[in-house]
Amino acid sequence: MNIKLKFYNTLTRKKEEFIPKTKNPTMYSCGPTVYSYAHIGNLRAYIFMDSIRRVLKFNGYKIKGVMNITDVGHLTDDGDDGEDKMAKKAAEEKKTPWQIADEVTKIFMRDIGLLNIDTPEVVAKATNHIDDMLKFVVGLTQKGHAYETSDGIYFDVSTFNDYGKLSGQKGKLAEQISGARVNINSEKKNPQDFALWKKAPKNHIMQWPSPWGQGFPGWHIECSAIAKKFLGAAFDIHTGGVDHIPIHHENEIAQSEALDGCNAGANFWMHNEFMQVNGGKMSKSLGNTYTLTDLADKGISPLAFRYFCLNTHYRKALNFTFDGVNGAATAYKRLLNLLAEHKDTNKACDLTKYKEEFITAINDDINIPLAIGVLWTMVKESPLSKDVFDLAVEFDKVLGLDLEKAEKEKIADIEIPENIKNLLSKRTEARKNKDFKASDILRNELAKLGWAVKDTANGQEITKI
């Protein structure tokens, strides 16, 4: 069975066969900005990164992944001006930016662990790589792609012909690139020129020595510099959310290709669509930027949230609602219950077609929702068999839902409502009297109310459907 692995490439706007540049594919993922806790939308981006990693591994690849931790900057107005977000938060909380970054990074690493996100091989803090960034910036100035102003070093986009190719705005230099705000900075040669390095005002907390005096890196340079350091000038995949396409990633491409030639940077650019809340934007002012801890407080486990995310393809917007995530939690529990039943039964089963369908789905641009559909069909349509359980556990290398831990819920572990208890005791009575017709009617009645009953040597066992 040889099912080609295809990914959608934002750069070419089509699905392309994935052929890595070297034996072990290389992937860079834009990591979190650690001045505030990651919200569930951010976490969607890392579940997406994780799915790519798992699909590559399922296909037999050994992957080298790198993710940065933005523990310096960036600036409040998303351009090159405004306050440093890290410094602002530190001042608000009367802590140093390093303390804030440390605390938030720890919680982020805990959260991605709880979500079964396969951690990239390298997790690199920006502040540990200032030298690599400076080397990059010096290289760009030497090649004539950057110029100095009174407040920093800027990339001159007019020196890079392909500027705008990722967002499909190539050649529209004179106009505003969609999404970018024009900075009223009279020293800039073009509105889209962006800061590679900023000169630090005296009271700026995070600053480092540079050929241009004390300063700090611009927003985009850390990703290009860290990717190059660990993966080489050219690598296979770059991930991030769609918000990064028009500015951050466009600028990364400009920096990398200007310095190291047209093959530099990523071969495949892959982006996850956004998560919304109740059909709208997530925002602090609406109080709907939930964290994983907020969900846990409402009884939603990290893996139930993961199951919820996996059921929407990464290139589709995902609308978060509590009804939706609760529905996903119920479905996930039901899946575990059904798998537990398969686990306990020894019966050989030919499942080849499910395996092929599963691989076809995941290799077609990581279609995890379709793959989960295949899993459900297998679990529901096959006779009870441990083979089903074993194949589900194999699929779980991609899904990461702890399916191997599926255990039947014990009667004692679940709360059984009074009406269900009554029906159960009526059924016990019917079976004692060998009234199997009445027993079957009661079983159907229980099923309609959402409870599955099974007769075992120890009597009736009940599970929530």
Sequence-distant (6+) residues with CB within 8 A of 192 are 157, 163, 173, 176, 177, 180
Among 20, 25, 41, 164, binds ligand AMP (CB under 6 A): 41
In the complex, least distance from residue 290 CB atom to ligand AMP, rounded to whole angstroms: 11
Of ligand AMP, Zn ion, none, which one sits near residue 208, judging by CB under 5 to 8 A according to partner kind? Answer: none
Residue 364, strand partner residues: 6
| Tokens describing residue 10 | 């934002």
Closest CB 124 distance from ligand AMP, rounded Å: 15
**Strands 14-17, 6-9: pairing kind:** antiparallel
Residue 123 three-state SS: strand
* Interface of this chain with ligand AMP, residues 44 to 103, rule: CB under 6 A: 44-45
The site map against ligand AMP for 1-30 (x = CB under 6 A) is -----------------------------x
Verify binding: residue 11, Zn ion, rule CB under 5 A. no
32 binds ligand AMP (CB under 6 A): yes
Q: Which residues of 137-159 are buried (b: 16+ CB within 10 A; e: fewer)?
A: bbbbbeeebbbebebbbbbbbeb
Q: Which residue, 38 or 339, is less far from ligand AMP as judged by CB? A: 38
Please, which residue, 103 or 409, has the CB nearer to ligand AMP? 103
d(CA 244, CA 461): 51
Strand segments, DSSP code E, in 42-121 are 64-69
- Picked from ligand AMP, Zn ion, none, the partner binding residue 223 (CB below 5 to 8 A depending on kind) is Zn ion
Which of 16, 81, 103, 243 is close enough to bind ligand AMP by CB under 6 A? 243
Of the residues 145, 188, 198, 244, which one makes contact with ligand AMP according to CB under 6 A:
244
CA atoms within 13 A on the CB side of 79: 15
Specify the stretch interacting with Zn ion by CB under 5 A; choose among 121-129, 201-209, 217-225, 423-431: 217-225
Q: Binds 191, which of ligand AMP, Zn ion, none (CB < 5 to 8 A, cut-off by type)? A: none
Using a 10 angstrom Cβ sphere, with 0-12 exposed, 13-18 middle and 19 or more buried, the burial of residue 417 is exposed
State which residue, 30 or 247, has the beta carbon closest to Zn ion: 30
Q: Out of 5, 11, 27, 30, which residue is the one contacting Zn ion (CB under 5 A)?
A: 30
Among the candidate windows 240-248, 249-257, 415-423, 450-458, which touches ligand AMP by CB under 6 A?
A: 240-248
Calculate Rg over the CA atoms of the chain: 27
Torsion sign over Cα 325, 327, 331, 333: positive
**Least CB distance from residue 227 to Zn ion, whole Å?**
9
Do 131 and 217 meet the contact criterion of CB atoms below 8 Å apart? no
Is residue 218 at the binding interface for ligand AMP, with CB under 6 A as the rule?
Answer: no
Q: How far is the CB of 72 from Zn ion (least distance, A)?
A: 13
> Residue 274's binding partner, choosing from ligand AMP, Zn ion, none, with beta-carbon cut-off 5 to 8 A by kind?
ligand AMP
Cα 428-434-436 angle, rounded to 5 deg: 80
Q: Residue type at 241? A: G
Is residue 223 within the footprint of Zn ion (CB under 5 A)? yes
Binding site for Zn ion (CB under 5 A): 30, 223
